[in-house]
Structure 1
Amino acid sequence: MALLAISVFLTYYFHAILMLGTVFSHFFYIPIILTALWWEKRSILVAIFLGGLVVISSLLYRPELLTLNDYGRALMFVVIAFVVASLSEQLKGREQEVKRQRDLVQRYLDVAGVLFVVIGTDHTIRLVNRHGCEVLGYREEELLGKDWFDTVVPGAFREVRRQTFNEMIARKTSIPGQREHPVVTRSGDELILAWQDTVLTGDDGQPIGIIGSGADITDRIRAEEEMRKAHDEANLYLDIMTHDINNANGVALGYADLLEAMLDGGGQEMVRKLRAGVGRSIEIIQNVTTIRRLHSHETATKPVDLDAVVRAEIAHHPGARIAYSGETVRVMADDLLSEVFANLIGNSIKFGDPGVEIAVRVEESGDKVLVSIEDTGPGVSDAVKPTLFTRFARGTSSRSGKGLGLYITRTLVERYGGRVWVDDRVPGRPGRGAAFRFILPRSSRAREPPASPAPPAACRIVTARP
């Protein structure tokens, strides 16, 4: 309204006082353009008013100076108002659309359960979601425009994080994967975020900042640390217990050997039962140790000489009748493979008669190796077979144990990428002996020459103890 009042005054002053033409009317573009920017199409009314003012004032005060140019200028006022108003509407429409999209994105970010933040190339915070404000303990207006590293990154990590940020901007590539990212809250508490970020680029492909997301894993990290400490403490107690029990078992076996030599008849039978009980204690300790090793190491297989493992286990049973034809083959396993043979051969000896015969067979088939351990013992009934390798499953024999040995066997074989099962040695006749079979992946590496000469016979038999 002030500009329109000035326009009326200028029209009167130039026409009535100075008796000049309409050069002053160039001033009229200012209120026309401003009105078009502010009120869009309503500026046309202002343009018509100012154009009419020019023409009417010329007719009233200097009609002899009124020319076609004056009518053209009045028309130009209307055209300028229309064009600028149209452009202003388009710009405002785009601004509103951008604002709607930004508000929509902000709502999406606000409902997310993790921190989201946009950090500009100048290290300032451009956008942060509601959960991020809650995690950091700030209001949104307190964070926007602040330096991210000076505000929320702990001092010990500040320069390293800043340098990493600058390198990502320079390379236009963020660090892949998730990593731990410490932050400090307004109250001074230090939190650990599971952090991921990506570089944002503009229409010209140049970086404009980084968008990062972080989930608070402080409680999880602390819980894992407490669990790790508890695990280490439990392992310490287990190591002490295992060491002391093994020492006690060793002493008990020593005295049992002395008693067996001193006694006869019923006394020797009692000593043999004592030795069996101590042996059971040793077996329990060995199972516990194996399970601990299974759960404390990652699966990392390597080529293993299967023949050497089999021969080493046979050597532990010099009083058993075990037939084995040497097969130089390498499989993918680890140092615990011997436990598989110890459990299966040990079961055949434990549950078989004194004269039980055991055969170990190795067959190669493509990239697999089939191992069979067959015995002439009492066999495994069909009702027991489906659950035989599950934890704490027991057989029907009075000498059946707790089932940990076969559970460990299955765990190890599956860890190597194979499988294990039990068949009848004579198909369809469970009482004629059992055949434990398992498959192992064959090593793709070339075979290495044996360290010692191969056995001369095709079958090695160890005669049973009388």
Structure 2
Amino acid sequence: MALLAISIFLTYYFHAILMLGTVFSHFFYIPIILTALWWEKRSILVAIFLGGLVVISSVLYRPDLLTLNDYGRALMFVVIAFVVASLSEQLKGREREEKKQRDLAQRYLDVAAVLFVVIGADHTIRLVNRHGCKLLGYREEELLGRDWFTAVVPEASREGRRRDFDAAIANNAAFPGRRENPVVTRNGDELILAWQDTVFTGDDGRAAGIIGSGADITDRIRAEEALRAAHGEANLYLDIMAHDINNANAVTLGYADLLVEALEGKEREMARKLRGGISRSIKIIQNVSTIRRLHSHETTARPVDLDAVIRDEIAHHPDARIAYEGKPVRVMADDLLPEVFANLIGNSIKFGESRAEIAVRVEKGDGTVGVSVEDTGPGVPDAVKPVLFTRFARGTSARSGKGLGLYITRTLIERYGGSIRVEDRVPGHPECGAAFRFTLRSDRTPEPPVSPAPAAGRMITARP
């Protein structure tokens, strides 16, 4: 309004006072452009007013000097107002759309239950969502514009994180994957965030900053630490208990063996039952230790000599009738593989007693090795087969155990990447014996030279 008043005064001063035909109307473009920027199309009325002012003033005070130039100048005022107003309208429309998109993005970020932050290449915080402010204990205006590393990164890791940030900006690539990053709240509490970020670029294609997101996993980390501590303490108690029970069992087993040798008749049979109970106690402790090792992931698969494992297990049963044709095969397993054969051969002996014949067969396949343990015992009823390998599943005979042996066997084989099933040794006749068949992954590395094994060829251990 001040510029319009000045324009009116200048027009009157040059025409009425100085009696000059020339008015310095270039000055009039300033109010016209400003009103076009501020008022958009309404600035055309201002341009018409100023153009008309020049023409009417000339007509009133110096009509002899009125020329086509004055009409052209008035028309130019209107054209300039229209063009600038149109451009201003487009720019403001883009600004409104950008603001709408920013507000929409901000609303999306605000409803997210994780921290979202945009950090510029100069380390300043450009944007932070509502949950991030709440998590860090600041208001949004207290964080915007501040140095991210100075404001929220712990001093101990500040320089390292700053170097990683600058390297990501320089390479235009953020650190891949998720990682755990600590942050410090306004109250000085340290939180651990599951952090992931990405670099964003400007219009010139250069890295302009990093967009980061972090989920608070402090409680989970502390719970895991407490769980590990409790797990370690429980394992300590189990180790002490297993050690002491095994020592007691060893002593008791020694005395039971002496009683079996010294007694006769019914007393000897009672001593044998006592010895069997002690053996079952030892087996329970062994199963518990095996399950602990299974769930602790202490070992990883490596090449294992399958032939040596089978021969060692057969050697533990010198009185059993076991047929096995040795084959130098290596499979991917670990130190717990003998448990598979201990359970399968042990079950065949336990259920079949002295009359059962056991056959162990190994067949090489394409990347796998098939193994079967067959016996001529009482077999497995069809109703039991589907649940035989589940935890605590038991057979139907009086000799059925606690249901852990075959569960451990299945768990181990699946851990090695194989599978196991039970079938009838003679299809359709469960009473003719059981056949446990499973697969293992073969070792694809070149096999080392195999030294001659004792009792090569077909090996049969028979009862005397």
Counterpart-to-counterpart distance in 2, 1:90 and 1:359: 88
Structure 1 gaps, min length 5: none
For residue 300 of structure 1, report the CA deviation from its aligned partner: 2.9
Amino acid in the other structure paired with 1:388: L
TM-score where L is the length of structure 1:
0.97
Q: Aligned in 2, Cα 1:285/1:446: closer, same or farther, shift over 3 Å?
A: same
Aligned partners of 1:116 and 1:213 also within 8 Å? yes
Equivalent residue number for residue 460 of structure 1: 459
Equivalent residue number for residue 424 of structure 2: 424
Equivalent residue number for residue 163 of structure 2: 163
Aligned partners of 2:10 and 2:23 also within 8 Å? no
Counterpart-to-counterpart distance in 1, 2:135 and 2:246: 53
Per-residue CA shift, 1:162-195, capped at 9, x if unaligned? 1111110001000011001111111111111100
TM-score where L is the length of structure 2:
0.98
Amino acid in the other structure paired with 1:458: G
Amino acid in the other structure paired with 1:414: E
Aligned partners of 1:22 and 1:54 also within 8 Å? no
Amino acid in the other structure paired with 1:461: I
Counterpart-to-counterpart distance in 2, 1:297 and 1:53: 92
Determine if the alignment matches structure 1 residue 361 to structure 2 residue 361.
Answer: yes
Per-residue CA shift, 1:260-304, capped at 9, x if unaligned? 233222221111111101100110011001100100006732221
Amino acid in the other structure paired with 2:460: I
Per-residue CA shift, 1:181-237, capped at 9, x if unaligned? 111111111111100000010121111110000111111111111111000001000
Q: Secondary structure at the match of 1:122?
A: coil
Amino acid in the other structure paired with 2:349: I
For residue 159 of structure 1, report the CA deviation from its aligned partner: 1.1
Equivalent residue number for residue 145 of structure 1: 145
For residue 124 of structure 1, report the CA deviation from its aligned partner: 0.7
- Superposed, which structure 2 residues align to 1:169-318 within 5 Å? 169-297=169-297, 300-318=300-318
Aligned partners of 1:193 and 1:217 also within 8 Å? yes
Q: Secondary structure at the match of 1:91?
A: helix
Query: What is the root-mean-square deviation of aligned Cα atoms in Å?
Result: 1.3
For residue 441 of structure 1, report the CA deviation from its aligned partner: 1.8
Aligned partners of 2:253 and 2:275 also within 8 Å? yes
- Count of aligned positions: 464
Counterpart-to-counterpart distance in 1, 2:366 and 2:187: 65
For residue 367 of structure 1, report the CA deviation from its aligned partner: 2.0
Aligned partners of 1:128 and 1:140 also within 8 Å? yes
Amino acid in the other structure paired with 1:265: G
Counterpart-to-counterpart distance in 2, 1:457 and 1:176: 55
Q: Secondary structure at the match of 2:353?
A: coil
Counterpart-to-counterpart distance in 2, 1:325 and 1:177: 51
Taking only the aligned residue pairs, the percentage that are identical comes to 78
- Superposed, which structure 2 residues align to 1:331-346 within 5 Å? 331-346=331-346
For residue 383 of structure 1, report the CA deviation from its aligned partner: 1.4
Counterpart-to-counterpart distance in 2, 1:361 and 1:341: 12
Further displaced range: 370-379 or 205-214: 370-379
Amino acid in the other structure paired with 2:172: K
Equivalent residue number for residue 81 of structure 1: 81
For residue 25 of structure 1, report the CA deviation from its aligned partner: 1.3
Aligned partners of 1:22 and 1:70 also within 8 Å? no
Determine if the alignment matches structure 1 residue 330 to structure 2 residue 330.
Answer: yes
Counterpart-to-counterpart distance in 1, 2:267 and 2:88: 111
Per-residue CA shift, 1:418-439, capped at 9, x if unaligned? 1111112222221121111111
Aligned partners of 1:291 and 1:408 also within 8 Å? yes
Further displaced range: 272-281 or 252-261: 252-261
Per-residue CA shift, 1:216-259, capped at 9, x if unaligned? 11111111111110000010001111111111111111111222
Counterpart-to-counterpart distance in 1, 2:207 and 2:365: 57
Counterpart-to-counterpart distance in 2, 1:411 and 1:228: 23
Counterpart-to-counterpart distance in 1, 2:4 and 2:100: 35
Further displaced range: 414-423 or 226-235: 414-423
Amino acid in the other structure paired with 2:314: I
Dislocated runs of 4+, deviation >6 Å? none
Counterpart-to-counterpart distance in 1, 2:252 and 2:113: 61
Aligned partners of 1:299 and 1:415 also within 8 Å? no
For residue 457 of structure 1, report the CA deviation from its aligned partner: 4.8
Further displaced range: 341-350 or 367-376: 367-376
Equivalent residue number for residue 352 of structure 2: 352
Counterpart-to-counterpart distance in 1, 2:340 and 2:393: 17
Equivalent residue number for residue 18 of structure 2: 18
Determine if the alignment matches structure 1 residue 53 to structure 2 residue 53.
Answer: yes
Counterpart-to-counterpart distance in 2, 1:417 and 1:83: 74
